[in-house]
Chains A and B, each alone.
Chain A
Amino acid sequence: MSNAGALGSGHLNSARAAVILATFLGGLLSGVVVYAVTDRGTEANPYASLPRAGEPAVTADVALALANDDAQALANQLDMAVLQRLQTAIEPLAEIRSTKFVGAVEKNGRVLAAYIAGGRTADGIDIVRGFVLSVTGDQIVGVN
């Protein structure tokens, strides 16, 4: 094949590759656009929501004790009934590696502070569990 022929063939292959790449990118873009147009996302909440409250200090201490595996601190902070409810709430977590405050709301002097605990079960499976500490007058009165 002559040099001119090889050059022409090379240009043709480049042009063909460019067209294929362009159509692929065009398809990719149209896929994104179609999803953006058709996706309805999370529907709006038709009910009113309570304003967010800050994390109560008393629940922050409990969350810290849980994350630090500090049984002594927990025993000092909570009475037996609340501790038993907390035990049920975090089941089947056997080892807590983290606790994360996710939000709190207050109504009529009662604060609900929500936490997510992450860790392992006795079988070594990584899971997350949610629990809510109910606070009245700087005292933890319940766990869900």
Chain B
Amino acid sequence: MFGLKLLPPMMRTALSMLIIGGLIGYAGTAFTTTLVADSGLLGGGGESNDAHKYMMAFVKRESEKLSRLGPSTDVVSRALQQQNAAQQAGDVKPLTVTYLGGSSSGRVSVHIYALELQAVGGQYQFFPLALTIVGGKVVRVE
């Protein structure tokens, strides 16, 4: 396959080892760094990439992105979500987004943020948001 048979056996083995080693190195590093980052072992605060992306989409009211990062829902729910987001997009201005911390147990992780928002009418809001993530999808926001 792929002309590998044309190569001498020794070179074929070496090439296979290089590819296998590369794949193991890449996948192993990805797994380890994700595990360490999510657990906050190295003091990185433990903010998960998925939680961060969801929060950024949440404060910017990017409904498409929110649907992608959230659990699978039907088309009507997604349309409603987009209408809601479009109506609120210009209504609020995010002032601060603070990651408070998180923890995980198996595939489930929880990440908590504090948000300060200023509505166009001048109304100020300071509230927390806890995101529950299962397998890279935000399944609960409260």
A-side residues, CB < 8 A to B, are 16, 19-21, 23-32, 34-36, 39, 41-43, 45-50, 89, 100, 102-105, 107-108, 110, 112, 114, 116, 118, 126-132, 134, 144
Contact = CB atoms under 8 A, between A and B. Distances in A.
B41 to A, nearest CB: 14
A131 B27 CA distance: 34
Given A47-B59, A50-B96, A107-B126, A30 B30 contact: no
A103 B101 contact: yes
B71 interface: no
Given A19-B10, A50-B98, A105-B98, A128 B25 contact: no
Contacts of A41: 37, 49
Given A31-B25, A102-B112, A103-B101, 15 more contacts: A23-B21, A25-B21, A35-B29, A39-B30, A42-B52, A43-B53, A45-B56, A45-B99, A47-B59, A107-B116, A118-B105, A132-B114, A144-B127, A144-B130, A144-B142
Contacts, number: 162
